[in-house]
Each structure stands twice: as structure tokens, then as C-alpha cells.
Structure 1
């Protein structure tokens, strides 16, 4: 037992490794859900503009003004705890950031010549949006996804720490922190280990996002 055992005699390293699967599953699905809906909403707002754009962006502003973790707490309190509702709550939290980034790119690119030429040729709006403009605004969306992944992992850990996220017997780093706080003086490794892994994952994906952004800037 390289990292020792918990109060039930379970190997801490094994639980951390299993908890990493949960963290990556929640992060991947939540970011995918938020990204898909956010990109569609942002594309519609940025491409068509006008009153529709104003309405969508005011809605996104209202969502961003509401603290994300507070929304997640309220969501799982109403609809129940568990991995499914945790993913849905975190996914909804990430929609506004994807929508705003996508909208910004579409507003910029819809005035470019290649888009005007496509309109003259009679290409449909849907095809212009997702076959012509979307590939050119993909880079900042990838950066946002990387940052969003680390945020999703941290949010899941916070919810699980409060007992409103992943439920036993599924292991979660946040729940491990909650269970270990009573034994921090007796078994400090039980508390330190999941905290270190949460920190490494969050920092790793933040650095990945920064690296992608720097690479994009150099290419431009």
C-alpha cells in the first residue's frame, strides 16, 4: 500500500486511480454537453445577430452572473444526487463560456469575403455556419474546452466533498477528502493524496490550455 489505507482498510492508491476514471468521465461528458449546446447557441447568436443575439446574450449573462457552484448545488438538491445529475449541472454551468467565445468568432468571420462569396453562391446559412465559419473558430473553442475540463473536475470534487456529487460505492476524490478529514492527524496521506491529484489535474489542463493558446498566437 504505497499511499496507505483508509479507515476501512481499502488501498488509497487504488481508490485514487479509480477516482481518476470518475473525474475524467465527468469532465469529458460535462464539457462535451456544454460545448455542443454552447457552440450551437453562440453560432446562432453571432451569425444572425439583431434581437435574437441580444436575447441570447442577456440570457447567457444572467447565467454567468449566477455563481456556477451555487447553481450546481441547487440543481442536485432539486433533482437528486448522483453522477448523472452532477454531469448535467456542470455541463449547464459551462454553456455560457462556450457560447460567448463562439459568438465572438462568428461575428468576426461572418463579414469575411469567403462567407460573402458563399452567400452569393446560394449556400444555405446552416452550411455556411458549420462548414465554412466553424472550422475557423475552432482553436479558441478547444482552449475553452481544456480550461472547462479542469473546472469540471474541480466542481465535481467540490460537490462530492459536500456529499452532493458522486455517491458510494463509486469513488471520488472530493468524497475521499470528505471521508479523510476526521483522520488528518492520524493518517495525513489519506487527505494529502487526493488533494495532490486534484491539483495536478487542474493545473495540467490549465497549462495545456495556455500552451494551445500560445501556439495559436504564434501561428497567427
Structure 2
């Protein structure tokens, strides 16, 4: 073998050895690449699962109902509740009666008693009476007043002790025709008045018994008309 052929053979042997040495290295790189891909996929799956979990949790928190606003809207104000004022509605009509003879009296009576209605006395006026007796406590303190009303034909129509606050007055409306005697008494005072009422009459009267600190005073006004 000449020198040229010997050098060519050595070169071929080195080349073959280099290719064989590179095979294990190539196999290791492919395995590493495969391992890295699998790891990346698994991490990606874990990341997606975490994100889905976070999104689900966030949705639950956002959809939780809040009852505070609803309770506030349905709360009934303590002040919703409303009571009608019926004070003074049972009094007699001043348009059908003479003006009270005393100045300084309150417009509406503390109570109104209807005398002679169906043989008895009620505390609610069913119609405006043509004859009225007022008992006015024109003093600084409340008083206990005994009131007895007797009809000549109808007998005793009222017999009771009433409490009258300072400045208040009571109205007694006479509906049944009769001749009445009204007796008012208390501690240190007494007074008597009369009311005559007949069927078909057109007259009206207003008697006011004024209870003062040192006694009583009574005045009567009347009006006559043609039926």
C-alpha cells in the first residue's frame, strides 16, 4: 500500500468513529426534549385548572345575594303607621244655635251628651239639638261635678258625676220634647237651670253654666223662628 492510500484509510476510520460517537449524544437530547415537553404540558394543565378554579370561586363570590338593601327597602317606618283625629266631631253645630254667651270658651266641648234619645242618655250626638246646656269649668283646676237632669214626663234622664278639666266644657243636647230641670253641684257651688222643648217648635236656646273659683254664673240666649 502506498502512502496516499494509507492516509485515506485513516481519515475514513476517524469519520466513522465520529458518527458513532454522536449517536448516544443524539439519543440523550431527544429524551431530554421529550421530558421537557411532557413537563411543560403537565404544568400547563395545572395552570389551566388553577385558573378555572379561581374563575369559579370569583363567580360564586360575585353572585352571593346581599339582603341588607332588601331589608332596608321593606322596612316599615315606625312612623307609617296614621290615626284619624275625631276630637270635636260630636259637638253641636254652632250654625243652628245662638253663640255662646261667654267669651274665652273653647270652640269644641270635651264631651257631648244627648239627653232624652229613645228614653235614655248617650254620649254621641246623632243630630244637632235645638236646645243645649253647657257646663264650663272656668277655673285653674279640674272639678268633679254632679249633674242631675230630670224630665217632667220622661223622668230622670241623667244622674252622674263627671270630671271637667280646667278650661273645658260639656254639652248636654236635648232631643226629646219635655220640660227639663238641670241641677249642677259640687264642692262649694250649685246651680239649677230649665229647658222647655215642645214638638214642632222652631226656637233654639243655649244655656251656659259657668263654674268659677268663687261660685257659679249662668246665662241663657234664645232665638225664635217661624216654622
Alignment TM class, shorter chain as reference: under 0.3
Name which one, 1 or 2, has greater alpha-carbon Rg: 2
- TM-score normalised by length of structure 1: 0.20
Q: Relative contact order: is structure 1 or structure 2 higher (C-alpha 8 Å, sep ≥ 6)?
A: 1
Q: Which TM-score applies when normalising by structure 2?
A: 0.19
Higher strand share: 2
Q: Which has the higher helix share?
A: 1
